[in-house]
Structure 1
Amino acid sequence: MKTEQILCSLGIEEHNHGGFAGEWIGSGPEIDIFTPIDGSRLATVSQVSEKEYDQIVDRAHAAFVEWRKIPAPKRGEVVRQLGNSLRGAKAELGALVTLEMGKIRAEGEGEVQEMIDICDFATGLSRQLYGLTMPSERPDHHMKEQWHPLGVVGVISAFNFPVAVWSWNAALAAICGDTTVWKPSERTPLTALAVTKIASEVCRKNEVDPAIFSLAIGHGSTIGERMLHDRRIPLVSATGSCRMGKRVGEVVGGRLGKSILELGGNNAIIVTPNANLELALPGIVFGSVGTAGQRCTSTRRIIVHRAIRDELVPRLITAYAGVRIGNPLEEGTLMGPLLDETSVNAFVTAQQKVVAEGGEILYGGEVLEGEGFPGGRYVRPCIASAANHFQIVQDETFAPILYIIDYGNADSSPSKAVEEMGEALQIHNDVPQGLSSSIFTDNIREAEYFLS
């Protein structure tokens, strides 16, 4: 499927309005959107002005007033149909995610599948909005717990999962009787346009207000800030960096609003001497190289026992060398480009810092050029030897850099290695962020120690 076919099939035009609340608006500055695959221009989006943002929120609130009156199971039926419409456009939407963000085709379609799955999940929940009943200390009385819709929910999503994050929030908000105003990343807004068009059509078919799923594309410093301060939005769900999350929490909390924050991670895998490396190696490679290291759950650190380090690292380097890097739309590609020049610069700078702090680059790290690597955004994933206390290791770099960190004594017996798990967990937990973690071991004592 060619680029023009993908865009046309989803209603993406050369020039697009960036706001929606029942009708399309957007008279603010234009944003040119380029694909990281080869740097070519995909389309232009007109951002919403601050006045238009106010109109969008007002329309979303008006839609909320009516939407909350509809019984939850009927709201769930609308969400079910949304999931089916997304299912019908899965290939095209997945290709657009790849075009705009750069993740490989399987991951792009996988992200669309996440939207479909959450719609199915939310549909079931629409018949399970239970409340408790309980006795009261007052005679002839009992108490009843009942959940009520909250209002307009603000959703701020990041570039790396340009549509899935919206669906996690919007589908659940919808069955609860809430409406959403979505501010996607201005770096990847085309998928938001496509999904909003699909959602609006589902609403029209069901004769409900399309402003249930509203959209406001604009920069974080303008539209994002307006949303944080907006008392018409009682809940803001934001996905992004820790710096952004601190700002969201501070501003929304300052007006006694609610916030849901999904931020960075500094994720580690512990590899013990009792690990099955045939299982560990694929897990490490996918965790660290998938989405070119641009996931909040990407593996950043390998905490490996010294007794097995010299076996693991050469095999890991061999596995990295076998990763096919290139056009993410092509079959067989395992790693596509980084999003933009800023991401590439962060990748290069992080390597310089790890060396300056005393680390060593063990593999990769180059910016790839020449045939098959147009646009300057392709890199070879990096493996570096480091210490956990390095500042660059403590910080999250949104790029495919994997730090090898040792623990234990190389001469330890298997029973002694189990006792050294405490050191591995101390290293694991000694970072400011925490999101995902795992261990590879065939020893049940090590596994249970990790879990407990």
Structure 2
Amino acid sequence: MVSAGSENPTFVATDTFKYMPKGVVKEGKEDLKLNYPALLRTESYINGKWVKAKSGKTQKVINKATLQEIAQVPAQNKDDTEAAIDAAHDAFQGWAKRTPKERHDLLYKLYHKINEHADDLAHIIVAENGKALQDAAGEVEYSNSFVEWFAEEAVRAYGKTVPAPDPKVRNVVIKQPIGVAGLLAPWNFPLAMITRKLCPALAAGCTGVVKAPCEAPLSALALAQLIDEVGFPKGVVNILVSERGQDEQEMGKTLCESPKIRAVSFTGSTRVGKILAQQSASTLKKLSLELGGNAPFIVFDDADLDLAVSNLVQCKFRCTGETCISANRIYIADAIYDEFSKKLAEQVGQFKVGNGMDKGVTMGPLNNEAGKKKIEEHVKKVKDAGGKIVLGGNAGEGLFFEPTIAQAPDAKQLPTDEEETFGPLAVLYRFKDEADVIKRANDVSVGLGGYFFSQDVGRCFRVGEALEVGMVGINTGMISQYIIPFGGVKESGFGREGGPTGIDEFLEEKTLVFSGL
């Protein structure tokens, strides 16, 4: 059964696996009790200065577990965006001329600053995002891995010489920073998705304008505080905060249409990615788009069942299921289906759900009301189609939802067939053979991540090569690493973040042809 967090809000588990939060607080401002209070910034960062919105508008940031106000931050618009673009544009030439070693040294100083304040950063993430503390701490470590990696890549953006057919000619290819980068970050990893974009841009010699997510902007502003303390030149990094709605759309459009922005990197939905691509067409920007997924998770009948179950728990339910590479369509071989369902329910039934800061909590609330409604709709449609809810299925108060396991009915259309739930709902499908499950796994318009479990070496190669995704986990549900490329195929976008090629998204090759030698 689900046990209760001991502090506000707390939950009472019942025989129907339903828990209700008690004493949810909505009034007053919450004190995060940070060891270093300077990290809680309430202004945006433009041209080395802390500024309010030009319009004077603000917005509240809410603790997703308690629904209590944490802070008020700017609600900025097109005018603020243009000011940030101008600052980054003015700073670009000076930053691009810094030696790679100088850029390396500043990024390494940032790496040590983040390590120094890792606990506080994790607490900020818990409050503004909702994920449990263990997930938030993991995010801080993951975030900083990109800072370290791209500090080192700054001094390894090698060019090359290309032998010419004419003995009097020498060809030299160099790499140069592309220019100002517009970086649009999502709320589900409010720190990691920024460092994964910003650090390769800085390492390459680009300046950046970051649009922080309105749902969780405090991590971005805390990062700006550390960037300021490290001593990056003014204008090199600019961090804006939007408000959901027309102003946010105008900010994104401004970044895409400005001729001073030469590269745009976005993580988010396929729908928005297509809009940004259209808006960027007028200036032919270099784009890196990490868009929606609908990850298949396949367990063949020769798999190590316990290994598959434990990895599915991590892959599906970490960070409350709000990750772009979460397992979404879970295909279980018919011969092991019932046993797998039972083992999965036993493990998920041990979750402790509540405020992510409470001791022992393994899953927190969702980030927003729209996400909660989407899960409710998916659960209802599974039930209406004749599916069986094995565990959970109920909404709590506020932004909480039970971790839920459902068995899909045969040959019925479900919302998870074509749409990622982005929450703690695991829908289990039956399959009979390899060819059928590969066909079903690939029968979607997106292709970000995919997973399968088998002990047959030949099958591992066949299925790994056949899945139409950018990343495949084989006998693992955890694939994200700073050292390998992250990205998808089909309508999951293009471009790669992390790994040896991540810095290339912010570099251009220039060929120098020497003749008359």
With normalisation by structure 1, the TM-score equals 0.91
Amino acid at match of 1:276: D
| Distance apart, 1:4 and its partner CA | 3.4
Counterpart AA for 2:363: M
- Structure with the larger RCO, 1 or 2 (CA within 8 Å, 6+ apart): 2
Partner of 1:281, secondary structure, is: helix
SS at match of 1:64: helix
What residue in structure 1 maps to residue 329 of structure 2? 301
Which residue, out of 18, 43, 51, partners 1:17?
43
Is it true that 1:439 corresponds to 2:452 in the alignment? Answer: yes
- Residues 445 and 50 (structure 1 numbering): CA distance in 2 closer, same or farther, change over 3 Å? closer
Q: Deviations over 1:46-70 (max 9, x none)?
A: 2234223212111111111100111
User: What do the CA deviations read for 1:273-306 (whole angstroms, capped 9, x no partner)?
Assistant: 1111111111111111111110001111211111
RMSD: 1.8
The answer to whether the aligner puts 1:393 opposite 2:400 as a matched pair is no
* 1:374-413 deviations in Å (ceiling 9; x for gaps): xx111111222225853442111221111111111xxxxx
| Matched letter for residue 445 of structure 1 | G
Instruction: Please list every run of 5 or more consecutive structure 2 residues that lacks an aligned counterpart in the other structure.
Output: 1-29, 466-517
- Cα distance between partner residues in 2 of 1:442 and 1:232: 52
In structure 1, the residue matched to 2:80 is 52
Closer, same or farther: CA 64–326 of 1 in aligned 2, 3 Å = same
How far apart are the structure 1 equivalents of 2:416 and 2:461? 31
> Which aligned pairs between 1:19-34 and structure 2 lie closer than 5 A?
19-27=45-53, 28=55, 29-34=57-62
- Whether the 8 Å CA contact 2:32–2:124 is kept in 1: the answer is no
Find the counterpart in structure 2 of residue 216 from structure 1.
240
User: How big is each residue's C-alpha offset from its partner over 1:188-238, in whole Å with a ceiling of 9 and x where there is no partner?
Assistant: 1111111111111112xxxx5132111111142121221122221111100
- Which deviates more, 314-323 or 75-84? 314-323
CA distance in 2, matches of 1:254, 1:406: 47
Specify the alignment match of 1:382 in structure 2: 404
Residue 365 of structure 1 aligns with which residue?
Answer: 393
Identify the residue that residue 177 of structure 1 maps to in structure 2. 205
Return the alpha-carbon distance in structure 2 between the equivalents of residues 101 and 442 of structure 1.
Answer: 37
Structure 2 counterpart of 1:411: none
Alignment of 1:39-438 (within 5 A): 39-203=67-231, 208-219=232-243, 220-369=248-397, 376-386=398-408, 389-408=413-432, 420-438=433-451
**1:423 positional shift:** 1.3
Shift in Å at residue 7 of structure 1? 8.4
Aligned to 2:23: none
| AA of the residue aligned to 2:418 | Q
Which amino acid in structure 2 is aligned with residue 171 of structure 1? Answer: C
How far is 1:37 from its partner?
Answer: 1.2
Mind listing any 5+ residue stretches in structure 1 that lack a counterpart? 370-375, 409-419
Counterpart CA distance in 2 for 1:104 and 1:168 is: 21
Aligned length: 428
Q: Is the 8 A contact 1:83 1:115 kept in 2?
A: no
Q: Tell me how far 1:317 sits from its aligned partner.
A: 1.4
* Segment drifting more, 225-234 vs 20-29: 20-29
**Amino acid in the other structure paired with 2:405:** I
Cα offset, 1:97, TM superposition = 0.6
Q: Is the 8 A contact 1:153 1:179 kept in 2?
A: yes
Aligned residue type for 2:242: G
Matched-pair contact (CA < 8 Å) for 1:388–1:394? no
| CA drift at 1:180 | 0.7
Could you say which structure has the higher helix fraction?
1
What CA distance in whole angstroms lies between the structure 2 residues aligned with 1:7 and 1:101? 19
Paired with 2:77 and 2:430, the residues of 1 have a C-alpha distance of 52
Matched residue type, 1:378: F
> Comparing both structures, which one devotes a greater share of its residues to strand?
2
Q: Structure 2 CA distance, aligned partners of 1:47 and 1:18?
A: 9
| Structure 1 residue aligned with 2:505 | none
